[in-house]
Amino acid sequence: MESVFVGKRKLDSGWLAARWTEIEATGIQLTTTLPPSGASPPWMEAVIPGTILGTLLKNKMIPDPFYGLNNETILDIADSGRDYYTFWFFTTFEYKLTGNQHVVLNFRAVNYSGEVYLNGHKKILPKGMFRRHSLDISDIVNPDGRNLLAVLVYPPDHPGRIPLEGGQGGDHEIGKDVAAQYVEGWDWMTPIRDRNTGIWDEVSISITGPVRLNDPHLVSTFFDNYKRAYLHTTVDLENKSSWHADCSIKIEVTAALEEDMCLLEHLQTYNLSIAPGMHMQYTFPPLFFYKPNLWWPNGMGEQFLYHVEISVDVKGFGQSDSWSHQFGFRKIESTIDASTGGRLFKINGQKIFIRGGNWILSDGLLRLSDKRYMTDIKFHADMNFNMLRCWGGGLAERPEFYHFCDLYGLLVWQEFWITGDVDGRGVPVSNPNGPLDHDLFLLCARDTVKLLRNHASLALWVGGNEQTPPKDINTTLMNELKLHPLFRSGEEESNLGDDLSNDLGDPSQYLDGTRAYVQGSMWDGFADGKGNFTDGPYKIQNPEDFFKDDFYLYGFNPEVGSVGMPVAATIRATMPREGWELPLFQKLASGYIEEIQNPIWKYHKYIPYSNPGKAHDQIESYGHPKNLDDFCEKAQLVNYVQYKALLEGWTSRMWTKYTGVLIWKTQNPWTGLRGQFYDHLLDQTAGFYGCRSAAEPIHIQLNLATFYIEAVNTTSDELSGVAIEASVWELDGRCPHYKVTEKLSLPPKKVCPILEMKYPESKDAKSIYFLLLKLFRLSDSSIVSRNFYWLHLEDSDYKLLEPYHAKKVPLKITPQVSITGSTYNMQILVHNLSKNTNSSRLCNLTNPQRTCMDSNGNSRSGIRTRVVKVNGNHTGVAFFLHFSVHAAKKFDEALDDTRILPVHYSDNYFSLVPGEAMTIYISFEVPRGVVPRVALRGWNYNEELSVY
């Protein structure tokens, strides 16, 4: 028996596009007698997957809509009409049927509807942005193997119009369709002129034999305190042939042990017969695992993933189809906590304190890629976050997004496409009954569940943002996403029997059944739990307020937001010179400052660093900004303090008041100027590192309201044999306060107030000072958590830091690098050479963390590396140091921005007290032919210092 190819081939290159009003040929003619000959007008190279704007931008037919005010020059669909953004897409592919093969053309998502022509034959792509299309083309592929494919894509039926005053979701017309609602603009987003029309997700062909596998469902169940587990699997089978298919269906489970080794856990084969043209559901007998390796969220343990492969062989043909997936054994529970009223998540029986963020999408033009997703998700893991909320006005995120959340341990709360602004309120008041076609909404919802349900990271389904779906949709979702009895909280596993009962039904036969459905983002344990508008606030806050009893009253805040100014290089790279102008600082009669931003900042949704009536301008508190660089540097100081205080304030009340918090939001899908920890160019703000510090699983912190030093242990294990070191440093380099506690033990999942920080009450206290906290092991002085603050006395500010710019502190910098292809991995030891005469004990506790080099710059293998020394005129704290990576020479003469992005740092925007050393780990990829340069700046180092 001769084997034939089965599998999937992506169709992601060689596409052309043209506006349909400029093409006289029909779809039949385009795919028979009049195909385009290449990228000559009106045809152009197309971006697939992508949107029409993405294609127009690639061909330089529109300016970059994310630069300056360019978006205002691009014709909006409300003014152009839908025909203007109705496009043909064309490609060819080679494929010739062999034997009893079948071929299906797959569109994983199209916005919003379309017509498909293949070799002169027409098929329809029905409406709906969030549905898969699988078209059997076995009978229409060309015998000679050359196939011509043309796709006509129509925009959403109700693209709407953008009111002059803007608003949340424009005029709300987009809510009549089952589509992303952010495209009409929001208070954080400019309108997307084509409303994301296009073939925006993967296109492929699937080649199978007579029998095809569809939508396998994997579910793990546990007994005996997670010692025993079962893997349940149900798969849909379709016999596409005209004869009985005698099949053997196989499931194989392997576990990776090392890079090139894996352990075969299970290999089971079962026989069955499928009638001609029959669709059937097949459920495997459950596979038993003893003490499986579990999947844990970020900060709780390893993200262990098993490889599951299902294949079907047909007698007389061979392998007919196969499917594989990385699967994590874990159990997610989600209930309302009785003591706080907040929603409480448990993973594998362990409660988890949620600290995460709200997610819209990577890119407003849907330029989605594995590489971008990997960077996005790794950034969130690097911030020590453990959950992302996929907001209802954005996307049902793609499997690639979830794949990286599986790998990095980010739990995901996925909402369906309902938002209060577009579905029941706003100006004008919107239609509360959701999309016009409720059946279409439910079809897309079911298909989304099937697409995503096997991912370990998926934790929660939610009906909508600040609104519930219409009653009929909500009732259907509640019923179809009901939990299987084995996953219902409040029932002990022992009550369900020692072994699986046939009476319960196999959980893999449910649409989902393993994770809860909540009807809206402010219901049932979120915000006040009743749907009232009790999330937020969204403006700058006084850092100490986050710790106070009256700041937020409810147990789980799904949205709390603030500022997000990027670095000056990003402003210059994304705006013309008019956008480099600083806000006017206008003093009000109340004494508060109002920031009046330039029109470009206003267009890019800038949030001021002042909140008149609530918080004084926190950039001005460091001294009036002199220029763009000074403004952005001071903004980074505020970003760091603001977001660290937010998370530390919430963590301070872990379980006693709060069960979780999600920051609005972690990033912007365009060049926005608010609510972000890294910008659209993928450069982190200092807020990124404030979050990274505050969200450590084990953390030492200062309560800014009580001034007690608190030790936080969010893990499931007691931490014993540790102590806390607290030292205060003044601007002249003196250490007037130093204390080390006695031996401590920190119980699991607790926040423990340890001692009061009394320096501010001392008679010689300085108006500005630095506080360094270290939690360390007494056995070897290794640091478990390190936290650094800059503080001022009450009724003071940070203006005395301004002259500190001139106080250059001596540094010794020792970089070490390894290069693999285009990837650089660096570790840079930074040592503050200022003499520390206050305490020998303190010096002994400042060993570099995880460094592979000694203080002389020698690696453990004895190879000496380059040493850079900076002479200083001051003994004191090396304040707010931050690295950046650049091209040594401009690799694109059209660009003034030489940054290489993204870069992953183990820490940045860090400070070192006298005698202290720290190793920073850096990794990045460089473009072909580019030599990187690593630079250091800091509050005491205004001139850029090249260290590599």
Q: Is residue 691 part of a domain?
A: no
Alpha carbon distance 470, 432 (integer Å): 7
pLDDT value for 166:
82
Residues 794 and 815 in one domain: no
pLDDT value for 840:
44
Tokens representing residue 679 in the block: 């910008």
Alpha carbon distance 201, 192 (integer Å): 17
Pairing of strands 556-561, 660-664: parallel
pLDDT value for 604:
98
Mean pLDDT of the 606-622 span: 97
Alpha carbon distance 732, 745 (integer Å): 35
Alpha carbon distance 311, 317 (integer Å): 13
pLDDT band at 895 (very low <50, low <70, confident <90, very high): low
Residues 191 and 240 in one domain: no
> Across the chain, which distance is largest between two alpha carbons, in Å?
94
Alpha carbon distance 337, 345 (integer Å): 9
Find how far residue 697's CA is from the centre of its chain: 19
DSSP class of residue 284 equals P
Residues 748 and 865 in one domain: no
Residues with catalytic roles: 466, 559
Domains contained in the chain, number? 4
Pairing of strands 823-832, 917-925: antiparallel
User: Torsion over CA of 104, 110, 115 and 120, rounded to 10 degrees?
Assistant: -40
Place of tokens 């205060």: 728
pLDDT value for 427:
84
Residues 96 and 178 in one domain: yes
Q: Which among 414, 412, 360, 415 is positioned nearest to 386, based on CA atoms?
A: 412
pLDDT value for 729:
97
DSSP class of residue 276 equals T
Pairing of strands 910-912, 878-887: antiparallel
Residues 34 and 179 in one domain: yes
**Residue 529 region by backbone torsions, left for phi larger than 0, else alpha for psi between -120 and 50, else beta:** left
Query: Taking the alpha carbons of 530, 533, 537, 538 in that order, is the dihedral positive or negative?
Result: positive
Alpha carbon distance 523, 525 (integer Å): 6
pLDDT tens digit sequence for 108-123: 999 999 999 999 999 9
pLDDT value for 852:
41
Share of the chain above pLDDT 90, in %: 90
Residues 283 and 271 in one domain: yes
| Number of H-type helices and E-type strands within the chain | 12, 47
Alpha carbon distance 123, 27 (integer Å): 11
Residues 734 and 871 in one domain: no
Q: Position 634: which residue type?
A: K
To the nearest whole number, what is the mean pLDDT of the chain?
Answer: 94
Burial degree of 226 (CB within 10 A; 0-12, 13-18, 19+): middle
Q: Which among 816, 811, 822, 819 is positioned nearest to 921, based on CA atoms?
A: 816
Of 496 and 241, the structure prediction assigns the larger pLDDT to 241
Q: Position 888: which residue type?
A: A
DSSP string, 58-113: HTTSS--TTSTTGGGGSPPHHHH-GGGG-EEEEEEEE----TT-EEEEEES--BSE
Mean pLDDT of the 467-483 span: 98
pLDDT tens digit sequence for 731-760: 999 999 999 999 999 999 999 999 999 999
pLDDT value for 859:
45
Neighbouring CB atoms inside 10 A of 499's CB total 9
Does pLDDT of 857 surpass 80?
A: no
Q: Which among 405, 484, 480 is positioned nearest to 449, based on CA atoms?
A: 480
Q: Is residue 197 part of a domain?
A: yes
pLDDT tens digit sequence for 19-61: 999 999 999 999 999 999 999 999 999 999 999 999 999 999 9
Find how far residue 484's CA is from the centre of its chain: 29
Does pLDDT of 893 surpass 80?
A: no
pLDDT band at 710 (very low <50, low <70, confident <90, very high): very high
Q: Is residue 366 part of a domain?
A: no
Does pLDDT of 1 surpass 90?
A: no
pLDDT tens digit sequence for 315-331: 999 999 999 999 999 99
pLDDT value for 845:
45
Alpha carbon distance 77, 83 (integer Å): 9
Alpha carbon distance 534, 557 (integer Å): 8
727 touches 735 (CB < 8 A): yes
Q: Which among 937, 829, 830, 918 is positioned nearest to 567, based on CA atoms?
A: 937
Distance between first and last Cα of the chain: 61
Residues 6+ apart with CB under 8 A from 494: none
Q: Is residue 474 part of a domain?
A: no
pLDDT value for 495:
39
Alpha carbon distance 161, 169 (integer Å): 10
78 touches 162 (CB < 8 A): yes
Q: Which among 687, 637, 917 is positioned nearest to 804, based on CA atoms?
A: 637
Final residue of a structural domain among 327, 361, 387: 327
**Residue 276 region by backbone torsions, left for phi larger than 0, else alpha for psi between -120 and 50, else beta:** beta
Alpha carbon distance 620, 533 (integer Å): 32
Q: Is residue 438 part of a domain?
A: no
Q: Cis omega (within 30 of 0) on the bond before 625?
A: no
pLDDT value for 498:
47
Query: Taking the alpha carbons of 515, 518, 520, 523 in that order, is the dihedral positive or negative?
Result: negative
pLDDT tens digit sequence for 530-580: 999 999 999 999 999 999 999 999 999 999 999 999 999 999 999 999 999
pLDDT band at 500 (very low <50, low <70, confident <90, very high): low
Alpha carbon distance 765, 750 (integer Å): 32
Residue 157's domain comprises 7-208
DSSP class of residue 227 equals T
Residues 38 and 144 in one domain: yes
Residues 44 and 74 in one domain: yes
Strands across the sheet with 517-518, in order? 517-518, 458-462, 411-415, 387-390, 354-359, 660-664, 556-561
Final residue of a structural domain among 208, 243, 261: 208
Residues found in the chain: 948
Does pLDDT of 406 surpass 60?
A: yes
Residues 780 and 875 in one domain: no
Tokens representing residue 716 in the block: 């499931």
pLDDT tens digit sequence for 668-703: 999 999 999 999 999 999 999 999 999 999 999 999
Pairing of strands 517-518, 458-462: parallel
Does pLDDT of 501 surpass 70?
A: no
pLDDT value for 492:
38
Q: Is residue 655 part of a domain?
A: no
Q: Cis omega (within 30 of 0) on the bond before 485?
A: no
Alpha carbon distance 644, 648 (integer Å): 6
Find how far residue 767's CA is from the centre of its chain: 39
661 touches 651 (CB < 8 A): no
Mean pLDDT of the 906-912 span: 98
Alpha carbon distance 286, 266 (integer Å): 11
Residues 6+ apart with CB under 8 A from 608: 539, 540, 563, 583, 594, 595, 597, 617
Q: Is residue 314 part of a domain?
A: yes
Residues 155 and 238 in one domain: no
pLDDT value for 428:
84
Tokens representing residue 577 in the block: 């010179």
**φ/ψ (deg, to 5) at 729:** -125, 135
Q: Is residue 882 part of a domain?
A: yes
Q: What is the CATH number of the domain that holds 936?
A: 2.60.40.10
pLDDT band at 835 (very low <50, low <70, confident <90, very high): confident
Mean pLDDT of the 478-483 span: 98
- Give 883's strand partners: 936
Alpha carbon distance 355, 175 (integer Å): 30
Does pLDDT of 167 surpass 90?
A: no
Neighbouring CB atoms inside 10 A of 578's CB total 12
pLDDT value for 847:
42
Mean pLDDT of the 209-216 span: 97
Tokens representing residue 521 in the block: 């983002």
DSSP string, 381-442: HHTT--EEEE-TTS----HHHHHHHHHHT-EEEEE-S-BTTTTT-TTTTPPTT-SS-HHHHH
Distances in Å between the Cα of 485 and the Cα atoms of 330, 333, 497, 883 are 16, 12, 11, 52
Query: Taking the alpha carbons of 302, 303, 307, 310 in that order, is the dihedral positive or negative?
Result: positive
Q: What is the CATH number of the domain that holds 144?
A: 2.60.120.260
Final residue of a structural domain among 307, 327, 347: 327
Mean pLDDT of the 172-201 span: 97
679 touches 686 (CB < 8 A): no
Alpha carbon distance 714, 747 (integer Å): 9
pLDDT value for 546:
98
Residues 834 and 931 in one domain: yes
